[in-house]
Structures are given as C-alpha cells and as structure tokens.
Amino acid sequence: MNEVKRQPEQQPVTYWTLFKSTFIISAFTVGGGFVLIPLMKAKFVDEYHWISEKESLDLVAIAQSAPGAVAINAAIIMGYRMGKVKGLLTTLLGTVLPPLITLTIVSQFYTAFATNHYVQMVLKGMQCGVAAVILDVVIDLIVKQCRKKLLLPILIMFGSFIASYIFNINIMYIILVDAFIGLGLMQKPIYN
Amino acid sequence: MLILWELFLSFATVGLFCIGGGYASMPLIQAEVVEKHAWLSMREFVDIFTISQMTPGPIGINAATFVGTRVDGIPGSIAATAGFVFPSLIIILILAYLYYKYGNVGAIRGILNGLRPAVVALIASAGVGILLLALWDKEKLPVSLDATNKIGVLIFALSLAAIHSKKVGTIKTLLASGVLGLVFYSLAGL
C-alpha cells in the first residue's frame, strides 16, 4: 500500500469521488457525527485540498448549529460547497445509503453477522484505524490553534473539551456559550 | 400512500426539533413513534439503541429506517429517512447561503470565530472516546495499562504512521487497518 502516490495539489471534484468518499466514510464509521467529521476533514481538506481548514471548521460549526444529525448536516453543507445542489444530493445520498442499506437489508441477520468471529476482528482493527485518523486530525488542529498564541480560542478549546468529555455537558449548551463568547469578544480580525 | 406521508411528516418533526444531535433525539423519536403512532413497542424502541451502537449512521437515520421498514417495507424506510433529513436540508441550505453571503459581517464572523475552537474540542472529545474504546474497550478514563490491547496499539501505531506520512489515503488506511485486524487477531489465535 506504500506505492500509492498522492500529489499535494488540489484534486478535481467529481460527483463520483464525492459519492465514493462519503459512502465509504459513512459505511465504516460507527459512533456518531464527530467520528465522521474528522474523517471527512482528512479526506476533503488534507488529502484532496478541496477546501481550506478554516472553511471546513466554519462549515462544521454551521452543521452543528442546525437541527438534525450532525453527520448528515456536515455532509449536506460540504456537498453544497463542493457542487451546489447536485453536490449536496450526492454527499447526502453517500452518507444516508450505508445505514439505510444496513438496516433494511442486513437487519434480519445483522446480529449473526456482527457477532461473527472474523467480522469482529476486522471491525476491531478498523476501530484502531479510525482512532488513528481522528487523532492525527485532532493533534494537527490543536497544534495549529496553539501556535496562533491567542488566549481566548485556546481557552474555548480546552474549556469545551473538559465540558464535553469530563462533564458530559450537552453539546448544544457548549455551542451556545461559545457562540456568545465569540459574538461578544471575538469580532476582531486577529481571530479570523 | 397515506402511511408514507405520515412517516415522512413524523420523522420531519423529529428532524426539525432534534437539536444537539445524537441521543438528544431519542425522547423525540419515542414521543412520535411509540406514544403518538404506536409503530413500535417500547422494547423495540430500546433495540434501536443497541443496533445503532453496532451499525453505521446517526441514530435518527437508524430509527427512521427501522421504523419505516417495520411499517411499510422499503418504501416506508425511504419515506421516513427522507422526512428526517428534509428539515436539515432546507435549514442548512439557508445557512450555507447566508454564510457565503454574509460570513464576513462582524457579528457572524465573531460567532464563527468562537465556534471553530469548540469544533476542535468536540472532535477531540469524540477522538479520545474512540481511542479508549479501540485500545481499552471502554470510553471513559481511567484505564489500566495492563488491560491495554497490544495488537490494537500496533494497528493504531501503523495506521497513524501511514496517515501521518500523507502517502496513504484515509480510506486505504481504514481498509488496511481492518485487514491488519483480521491477520493479527487470527495469528494471535483469539
């Protein structure tokens, strides 16, 4: 697998790449929106260079602020950015189809499938792969945030992490508080 | 036809009022599906939870598909799922339009500047949870070092090296980690 060559330049956006990326990411990620989002970021920002990191975080923030499932919202808004309404329908379909197929067709024998020894081994291995990709994305984002040496965003970042991970506070409240902090204190261009 | 429309409307309500995502939507789904329409029993409803833990996709989509299939087969599952995503679609379209038009207005810029570090924190929070689950089989600290899954650490390290090198793509890394899982756990005779 090491002979795969990737150019750092921007790769052309095609509906097929959009569909394929979102379908595979959705099919192999179990466990909610914030598992899926860093994988999309790894693919669309770091690998394909379709959008900038800042824009991708803005889009995720918007996705989180709207009602509905974050994963679906993120897929919709990324798709819209990449290819307007057609792009949005492509990524939406790519994200929705795996759970739709899994639950309609496979649901009858899913338990047998999921408890199968070999399937378990693959899933267990894949969980480590998912964790690695997310950690790579997360560390990169945290380092970049800290390098800017601005106190407020760093405080928001660590404060929100503690609120979410340690105290299990509902994400909606975290988002609301941070939005107010931003509105009140972070309109200056240095924070852009 | 009527039942499909009812499914669509019912899950559109869930999608519209499900703010905060994930498990926050469970009481809403329960109100619509168990109490109002009696499409599922409480027991079946709890099963959706369990199934959602092991299958891909957001819990709202899983519930929509499960209930839709139960009520009216595949057309039902499509109607319910379409209903669930419909409000998101409209609202996100409006927000995206506003973002690209007014994203540089001071107040909106400020809000987004405040939310970007929060998004990093939320991704980090999910990331730590997944890592603990992969290597220690539990989502919260503390963990004991003796209980570390050594094969897991190996696959994790290899995947991290692959993705960090930028030479291997995201999806190839994920697929390779699955293959490594099969090979290593088989060799270890688990």
Contact A131 B135 (CB under 8 A): yes
- Residue B185: what are its φ and ψ, rounded to 5°? -70, -35
Residue A168 falls inside a structural domain: no
If phi over 0 gives left and psi between -120 and 50 gives alpha, with beta otherwise, what is residue B177?
alpha
Smallest Cβ–Cβ distance between A34 and the set B69, B126, B180 belongs to B126
With both helix axes pointing from N to C terminus, report the angle between A15-28 and B170-187 in degrees, rounded to the nearest 10.
Answer: 30
* B16-71 per-position pLDDT tens digit: 887 655 566 777 888 888 888 888 887 777 777 666 766 777 878 888 888 898 88
Same-domain status, B98 and B113:
no
Contact A67 B17 (CB under 8 A): yes
On the question of pLDDT at B185 being above 60, the answer is: yes
Residue A120 falls inside a structural domain: no
Same-domain status, B115 and B172:
no
Same-domain status, B44 and B54:
yes
| Cα–Cα distance, B161 to B144 (Å, whole number) | 25
pLDDT for B24? 64
* A80-91 per-position pLDDT tens digit: 998 888 999 999
| Cα–Cα distance, B35 to B43 (Å, whole number) | 13
Number of structural domains chain B divides into: 3
**What are the structure tokens assigned to B106, written together?**
């001071």
- Judge residue B97's burial from the number of C-beta atoms within 10 Å of its C-beta, 0-12 exposed, 13-18 middle, 19 or more buried: exposed
Residue A88 falls inside a structural domain: yes
* B88-131 per-position pLDDT tens digit: 999 999 989 888 888 778 888 888 889 889 988 988 888 888 88
- Residue B112, helix vs strand vs coil: helix
What is the C-alpha end-to-end distance of chain B, expressed in Å? Answer: 51
Segment 15-74 of chain A within 8 Å of chain B by CB? 21, 24-35, 37-39, 42-43, 46-47, 54, 57-73
Same-domain status, B83 and B111:
no
Alpha-carbon distance A39 to nearest alpha carbon in chain B (angstroms): 7
Same-domain status, B6 and B42:
yes
Same-domain status, B185 and B153:
yes
Residue of B nearest to A184 (CA): B110
Contact B58 A71 (CB under 8 A): yes
Name the residue range of residue B82's domain: 2-102
Same-domain status, B60 and B123:
no
Same-domain status, B171 and B129:
no
Residue A183 falls inside a structural domain: no
Number of structural domains chain A divides into: 1
On the question of pLDDT at B186 being above 60, the answer is: yes
Q: Does B178 touch chain A (CB under 8 A)?
A: yes
Residue with tokens 């994790």: B156
Q: B87, B51, B90, B86: which is closest to B69 by C-alpha?
A: B51
Segment 34-73 of chain B within 8 Å of chain A by CB? 51, 53-62, 65-66, 69
Q: What residue ranges of chain A have pLDDT lower than 70?
A: 1-9, 31-32, 106-111, 113-114
| Cα–Cα distance, A18 to A5 (Å, whole number) | 20
Query: pLDDT grade, residue B87 (50/70/90)?
Result: very high
Same-domain status, B124 and B156:
no
pLDDT for A19? 94
Name the residue range of residue A1's domain: 1-108
Alpha-carbon distance B30 to nearest alpha carbon in chain A (angstroms): 16
| Cα–Cα distance, A14 to A87 (Å, whole number) | 9
Residue A50 falls inside a structural domain: yes
pLDDT for A140? 87
Query: pLDDT grade, residue B75 (50/70/90)?
Result: very high
Half-sphere exposure of A121 (CA within 13 A, CB side): 16
Same-domain status, B75 and B22:
yes
Same-domain status, B66 and B112:
no
Residue A173 falls inside a structural domain: no
Same-domain status, B67 and B9:
yes
* B140-169 per-position pLDDT tens digit: 777 777 788 889 999 999 999 998 888 888
